[in-house]
Amino acid sequence: MVERGGKIRVFNPEKLLGGMLMGGTRRRGGLGGMLSGGSVALGLVGVAMAAVEHYTDKSHASTGGAVPPVPPPGRLSGTLPPPPVPGVSQPPPPLPERGAPAVPPTTGKSSTHKDAVLLIRAMIAAANADGVIDQEERHKILSKLQSVDLSREEHAFIANELLAPRNLEEIIKEVQSQEMAREVYAVSLMAIEVDTEAEKTYMNALAKGLGLSDAALDEIHTELGIGRR
């Protein structure tokens, strides 16, 4: 994983995302809940677990090797053609079969990691919408995340992101699909309570930048049990 400045970090962003989501939701949960110690609503626990399972399943699927197709009869590797029959003309040998196009190396796992990192950054960016992540709050968040058994690389990643959160434009630029747009909006909503004008402005701008329709927004808010404001 390449951070700002080109330094390479290797860690498990899916685990880290799960820890952040399971820490709670919104200001009484999510990143904010890490500060207050509030418990997570049962419905939102389901959302968090679904997100973790989603990325775990994608990661497992990406590591499975493709099973090669069974050759048709008569084409088995190492099988010799039958001997020619005397006096009978033989058909010309078959043309060599065109090989299947080379399969590019799978990028599923790296893509999964990239998506998880984006969601983590989206949560931190939302929590910073009104500039509330000060030094004391950063310390509390990092202390709370110790329960996730972070590696040094994971701890450093979060510390760096808290010191220099991505801005709205950077988050939107990384979103490559409508599915990811919905997930980015959802985790951003879970990270804050949207009770300040700055947070309302941020979430409205995020929804607009992600191209989410009113119907999609209503669905996300309903699923999370968070009313639109």
pTM, rounded to two decimals = 0.59
pLDDT value, residue 112: 74
Cα 15–chain centre separation: 11
Dist CA 39 CA 151 (whole Å): 25
Contacts of 127 (CB under 8 A, 6+ apart): 30, 31, 32, 133, 165, 191, 192
pLDDT value, residue 100: 41
Give the range among 3-12, 59-68, 77-86 with minimum mean pLDDT: 3-12
Give the range among 8-22, 41-55, 124-138, 207-221 with minimum mean pLDDT: 41-55
Per-domain residue ranges for the chain? 13-62+107-224
User: Is the confidence at residue 50, as pLDDT, over 80?
Assistant: no
User: Is the confidence at residue 210, as pLDDT, over 70?
Assistant: yes
pLDDT value, residue 6: 42
> Over the chain, what is the mean pLDDT?
67
Mean pLDDT of 95-102: 44
